[in-house]
Chains A and B, each alone.
Chain A
Amino acid sequence: GESVGLHLPTLSVQEGDNSIINCAYSNSASDYFIWYKQESGKGPQFIIDIRSNMDKRQGQRVTVLLNKTVKHLSLQIAATQPGDSAVYFCAENQGSASKIIFGSGTRLSIRP
Chain B
Amino acid sequence: NAGVTQTPKFRILKIGQSMTLQCTQDMNHNYMYWYRQDPGMGLKLIYYSVGAGITDKGEVPNGYNVSRSTTEDFPLRLELAAPSQTSVYFCASSYAVNTEAFFGQGTRLTVV
Contacts and interface: CB of A to CB of B under 8 A. Distances in A.
Interface of A: 2, 7-8, 31-32, 34, 42-46, 49, 51, 89, 93, 98-105
A64 B90 CA distance: 25
B59 A101 contact: yes
Interface in B69-111: 90, 92, 94, 97-106
B52 interface: no
- Top 6 A-B residue pairs of the complex, sorted by shortest distance between their CB atoms: A43-B103, A32-B98, A46-B100, A102-B43, A7-B40, A98-B97
Interface of B: 4, 31, 33, 35, 40-45, 48, 50, 56, 58-59, 90, 92, 94, 97-106
A100 B45 contact: yes
Nearest to B54: A98
Most chain A CB atoms below 10 A, which of B56, B92, B98, B105: B98
